[in-house]
Structure 1
């Protein structure tokens, strides 16, 4: 697997399983390979069976916990990580892994305790420092600013550790009301992160233009075949626009389950259209020739096992905005909701988030502004060629009038209002997004207009948006 050759690895593991069919080590490896290959449906029963088995080592329990977590089975992952801690209590990684799942499940005090223990065992666990800053709102009386600044100035931090510590400091300093110092560390961390990657925002912008050109009004005037299924509800847009809040509210309805942020649509699209080959634009061209009915069927078949037994299910992968037209072609009875937020609040919220792998445009203000403009252009295109298909939800309106906006979204999905939607913050459902801590609280408005604290620092972004004709309402 280290060579990223899953076929060779699976063949070797299958030979081992032929000799030892019940060996947990080989079964864990097989499930891991299948998931890396996107064959989640085949991996799931193996992982579920292993969760009911007795394993031997902390490493095996931790690996199983990771696989369960990746399948969004956080409640089942929790005892696996606890067992890993019991078997190897002196290993900091075990406490960190346990903390991640506790956060997903909203058990934030336990999460912070586990992170404290991880850092006590390994003060250089930069990821633990970063996550601990996010778990709660820091206060003047109780924060880690001095410890983080001491670590950052120690001269013992590598580049990736510097990024983690800078983002942690930015979060904690913003919490305690020091915006200038907060942005200083945020800019330092973002610049360092950007310098560690190879990325050109122009590639993404050209891909968006290619999508709009390929999937134009003429394309949607033709009969392309489709899947007659009305179960899916897509929430899409840019990250950090309130999609997790809307998801939690709607998923509190008894008729709606959620799969979180699923990659299944993109995976099945790539399988049908073929690997990117010479570039993304070639893939876009091939995507227009696929069997869209088959895409819809494959998407539902691969996604449904994780969605629960409710009549409808939510998929809140933000990047599905790229595929909004393809979703409608494949699943014309699916519902598509796009989250919107003030451009500068959106961009600032994205900029201050350290994403694991996605959204490489987020670490440079000019890249971010250009990508935002490209996103707005593509969404305007979808709404122009598919009038009435996409329902817009404004984050500020959702916060101001939760019941009214949520009821309108439910009506768009063909569902009646249910009072349980107002109690979303009491839900025990796991959340694995950057908003995993915030969704445990009732609706709050403190993040609205937050960009104004950084008007001067965000000037490069404001200039890019202004040149692109994006109205920012700077009052």
Structure 2
């Protein structure tokens, strides 16, 4: 074997001959098959090399240590799997099966960057190893890189066009980049051949909802429930249409589902949120709140969230983004005026603002884009808990060229979402309130709109909402109130140090006097008035958020004061909101007094 490795550098063809002799004598020797694959690839015999590489993988999985590691992964014993895989890979660093297992371990631990690097190494060693390519597509999708995931999936589907798992993932990735019609076509093709897949029916229903086919969406969800009546996520998807009222038969079916012996916790909390909505619509408020509370309790127990991290981030932003700092760096960054950021709390009316603006002839609506938080996360490095020197403090060390590069990168990353030639586009990620300073530095001509709603109305609406991902603050009343308070505190800071740069839209005022508020909004954006903005509900476009059905109707006051029915059980929320609630719609006086400095405008 040592001689064959030496020959690999000197004469790949002769090395391949020797490796063939070894595998004939020892067909269960994975290392010999790996050597044969390398020799054949070096000799230019790609097809035979692929066959040898795949055989090496097939043989290596019978290694007792890898077999034990695979069992540990299957059982969720991740620490055991890691203890087995690390020494194995130290001895056999080119064992592709072991590399893929380590990538799966990294992905399960949330280390998606590590998983991606491992899978790319596996494919470098064995380009034809389809399972690794499939895993890589999934990892890219989970990192909010759907366009790259689609590229990987196209390669897989070229070799196996009818693979339903790859088709489903491609459809989901296409939905992420706004290619909804193509996604619908794939789902329809999959369901024609495999109709008994409730989760595919659910995913199909999600896309139908997004494109405004409400009745078809409901039918898809109902079809999923006919196959799997205890699938809680589908019940929640129906309830989350907001304009659909679930009746007594549905309540009975969900209550029966909760009694199932084999119901897992994820189905359980989805059912609790759905039952809360159904019972609230039926006027059974006490029972509704009990289910909301239980759903939130179960969901909170499954997630990691530290409110101190959010408060600490706000503290660091207040320290860094002073008026002098912003004035000194006001002309740096990318000068493109394209983005309009609509941010604030979830469930505060941002989708309504987006729909209004997307009805304007010069503005394109997209979706909640993950790109700005991804840039912020990268700037912060790998620290689990932010510290001084990380994000946002690191922004002070960036040059004008680096800031401009970040702005240009953001525009490049979001270009896949732009389907028209309109000059402006909307990024409606609510959580971008935490990155107002970053926006100001890298995109100084971008416009920022703060969508704000009454603290109790907004926070209770969040408490009733199960979010597919993120929003860890939303599952506890006290944490909700503290998060809202931190959000208001940071925006009050930016109001003081860069006055006029953030335009605030109060949801209640928009509901009460839409034309006046829309005119003010368009004036802030330097856009001419467009009457279609008043008829926003007639605009046909895809809307992905929970409010998708609500913004397809004219403005109404339904839901504005719904929280008042539940006010007696919201005392923990009220206490956590503290002075923010008392000062509404203004901000606490002490926050205004804190910035005792000349007011200057920094619009470039």
| TM-score normalised by length of structure 1 | 0.91
Contact 2:341 2:447 in 1 (8 A): yes
Aligned to 1:337: 449
| Correspondence list, 1:301-450, <5 A | 301-308=412-419, 309-450=421-562
Contact 1:134 1:437 in 2 (8 A): no
Give the number of aligned pairs: 469
1:416, CA displacement in angstroms? 0.8
| SS, match of residue 500 in structure 2 | coil
User: Is 236-245 or 251-260 further displaced after alignment?
Assistant: 251-260
Residue deviations 1:61-103 (CA, integer Å, cap 9, x gap) = 2121111112232222111111111110112222111111111
Distance (whole Å) between structure 2 residues aligned to residue 140 and residue 228 of structure 1? 49
Contact 2:481 2:577 in 1 (8 A): yes
User: Is 405-414 or 281-290 further displaced after alignment?
Assistant: 281-290
1:194, CA displacement in angstroms? 1.5
User: Is 371-380 or 398-407 further displaced after alignment?
Assistant: 398-407
Distance (whole Å) between structure 2 residues aligned to residue 420 and residue 27 of structure 1? 46
| SS, match of residue 144 in structure 1 | helix
Specify which structure has the bigger relative contact order, considering alpha-carbon pairs within 8 angstroms and separated by 6 or more residues: 1
1:227, CA displacement in angstroms? 1.1
Distance 1:160 1:37, change over 3 A: closer
Match of residue 409, structure 2, among 285, 291, 298:
298
Distance (whole Å) between structure 2 residues aligned to residue 135 and residue 381 of structure 1? 36
Residue deviations 1:356-389 (CA, integer Å, cap 9, x gap) = 1211111111111111111111110011111110
Aligned to 2:98: none
Distance (whole Å) between structure 2 residues aligned to residue 301 and residue 93 of structure 1? 33
1:46, CA displacement in angstroms? 6.0
Match of residue 280, structure 2, among 157, 167, 174:
174
1:270, CA displacement in angstroms? 3.5
| SS, match of residue 456 in structure 1 | helix
1:259, CA displacement in angstroms? 2.5
| Correspondence list, 1:210-289, <5 A | 210-223=316-329, 225-272=332-379, 274-276=381-383, 279=386, 281=388, 282-289=390-397
1:198, CA displacement in angstroms? 3.0
User: Is 430-439 or 237-246 further displaced after alignment?
Assistant: 430-439
- Larger Rg: 1 or 2? 2
User: Is 462-471 or 208-217 further displaced after alignment?
Assistant: 462-471
Contact 1:99 1:114 in 2 (8 A): yes
1:13, CA displacement in angstroms? 3.4
1:77 aligns to 2:183 (yes or no) = yes
| SS, match of residue 221 in structure 1 | helix
Distance 1:48 1:412, change over 3 A: farther
> Structure 2: any 5+ residue segments left out of the alignment?
1-102, 108-114, 586-604
| TM-score normalised by length of structure 2 | 0.72
Distance 1:424 1:75, change over 3 A: farther
1:153, CA displacement in angstroms? 3.2
Distance (whole Å) between structure 1 residues aligned to residue 403 and residue 157 of structure 2? 36
Distance (whole Å) between structure 1 residues aligned to residue 261 and residue 372 of structure 2? 44
